[in-house]
Amino acid sequence: MIPIALLSAIFFVVGACFGYFVVFPFGFQFFVGYATDIVKPMPSLKEYFSFAVQMLIAFGVIFELPLVIFFLARLGIVTGKWLRQKQKYAMLITFIVATILTPPDVVSQLLMAAPLMLLYEIGIWVAYLFSTKKPIPEEEAA
């Protein structure tokens, strides 16, 4: 259980750091981009903090995908083959999730969707490696 807890914490922190250091500047720049000579961007500390925390949590949670797939595979709910067959639907869902969780700029959405697709691919390999082996029925074994 300790390795799983450790990996979970590491994945969350890596995701949160990726969200804050890579994606957050693009998202914040998007909102500041609405500034004109008349309209000055003056975000309050509360708004800045709220936006940053939202990005940290969103990216931290999506980086847990390989662990979720690991548990589903160990329970026998999914297999690597099934995940591979449903990959086109997963890509669609990835972009929908990225659209919902990020600011409405395309760069932030792509910066969430790309790692999520990579994490799904890693999850497929995790499912291949750690899925429970189903015993062969005796009729088929003969």
CA dist., res. 67 & res. 69, Å (int): 5
| pLDDT at residue number 23 | 87
pLDDT digits (tens, 9 = 90+) for 61-115: 999 999 999 999 999 899 999 999 999 999 999 999 999 988 788 888 899 999 9
For the entire predicted model, the pTM comes to: 0.80
Q: What are the residue ranges spanned by the domains of the chain?
A: 2-132
In eight-state DSSP terms, residue 77 is: S
Q: Are 119 and 65 in contact (CB under 8 A)?
A: yes
Helix axes 106-130, 24-32, angle to 10 degrees: 160
